[in-house]
Amino acid sequence: MPALTLAELQAHLGGTIRGNPDKTLIGAASLERAGPEQLSFVVSPKYLAQAQASAAGALIVSEALAPSLQTDSLVVDNPHAVFARALVLLHPEPRQPVGIHATAVISPDAEIGPGVSIAAGAVVASGVVIGAGSRIGAHCYIGPNARLGKDCLLHPRAIVQHGCQIGDRAVLQPGCVIGSDGFGLAWEGDHWAKVPQVGRVILGNDVEVGANTTIDRGALDDTLIEDGVKLDNLIQIAHNCRIGRHTAIAACVGIAGSTKIGAYCQIGGAAMIIGHLAICDRVTISAGSFVAKDIRTPGVYTSVQPLMAHADWKRNAAHLRHLDHLSERIKALEESLKNQRKIKE
């Protein structure tokens, strides 16, 4: 790990130094575990006491919290985001050497840009274009006529199927699959017939796809993932979906086919979204929610039942079974009251 002074960090990250600009830092850690040569950060007053007790060599803090701390600090507007950028400097990701490993299989007509590295066992098929500076990990597969932009990073065993297009600076984590067949079937009287999936997957710039996440190719039109979308691990995005720019989706979400999700949305883990829905921009969906209709107004939406004691859940579930009957009884009572009022009048 490189050693950087607080002043050198400021030159990259901006902000204002409080304390010793020559403080040398090697790596970063949490407030609880950071040592005198490590950087940490504080985002909220509720962590102030922990920060005051921390042995961290320096902190990234907000202007509001800085006066309460004696530790050397870099004062910024958004400590969390700036700390993320600091981690890139203090914990640089290992880079594989530029060039093509002897065991990689590269089609003669593939176009490989300058500064590209392709690791052991990777397969690059016919007609593939890989942009400058991209890194292809071990045992990745890039199918015929697929295109990757500049400075992409494919971790080991990532798969990009035929014809798919990946924008610049994409990150594909291990085991993700871009362009698998959508679940297209037609019933033919006594069996299911497979419907060929002839669309593509198109990823915009700065998209990250988590480990073992799958994005199905379109049935006829393309599946589109716009710029800046961040996808966690183990997500399923079905054919013909469209995910708007800078939307973030947590692990284990399932999105059925032809769903359109707007820009700047946040979808919590294990949410389920049925197909052919439209969700507008700037919607937050809580973890575990089930979305069965369009969402046309920005805001926070939740459908999951809160955790409760098992005995309470059984009792409430028993009541839920009778809701339809109770609703009919209430309607009958309301009608009876209405008739009584008419008689009195």
Do residues 22 and 7 make contact, with C-beta atoms less than 8 angstroms apart?
yes
Nearest to 161 by CA among 173, 183, 177, 138: 177
Q: How far apart are CA 267 and CA 283, in angstroms?
A: 8
Q: Are 168 and 153 in contact (CB under 8 A)?
A: no
Residue with tokens 């006066």: 67
**Residue 245, SS3?**
coil
Q: Which residues are CB-contacts of 29 (< 8 A; sequence separation ≥ 6)?
A: 35, 38, 39, 40, 56
Which 3 state secondary structure label does DSSP give 225?
strand
Residues labelled as active-site residues: 239
Please tell me the distance from the alpha carbon of residue 297 to that of residue 300, in angstroms, as a whole number.
9
